[in-house]
Amino acid sequence: MAVAVDVRLPTVLRSQAGGQSIVTVKASTIGDVLRGLVSEFPGMSGQLLNEDGTLHRFVNVYVNDDDVRYLDSLETPVKEGDEVSLLPAVAGG
């Protein structure tokens, strides 16, 4: 069952979401959250998901401070009131 989930967007993605820092998406899993974001804001597609639908390796996704890579990845369930945070990986030298 899809529920309303708040998604915190990093500065780098806000321009594709009309400057919003938080958007609400109806979803039942993290995969649904990300597909919903890409559907509503197509400019995010290559930054969140790979062409094969898997999680892009340079973005970290958290549900209530838990990294989904250590949970069930895109199949991680979400519930009403959960907060999803997207953090792009930072590289440097």
Contacts of 14 (CB under 8 A, 6+ apart): 20, 21
State residue 46's pLDDT score.
87
Which segments of the chain does DSSP mark as H helices, in order? 11-14, 30-40, 45-48
Per run of 10 residues, the mean pLDDT along the chain (length 93 residues) is 94 94 97 95 91 90 96 96 90 59
The structure tokens listed for 8 are 């915190």
Cβ atoms of 76 and 68 within 8 Å: the answer is yes
Burial class (CB in 10 A: 0-12, 13-18, 19+), 60: middle
Query: Which domains are delineated in the chain?
Result: 3-88 (3.10.20.30)
State residue 92's pLDDT score.
57
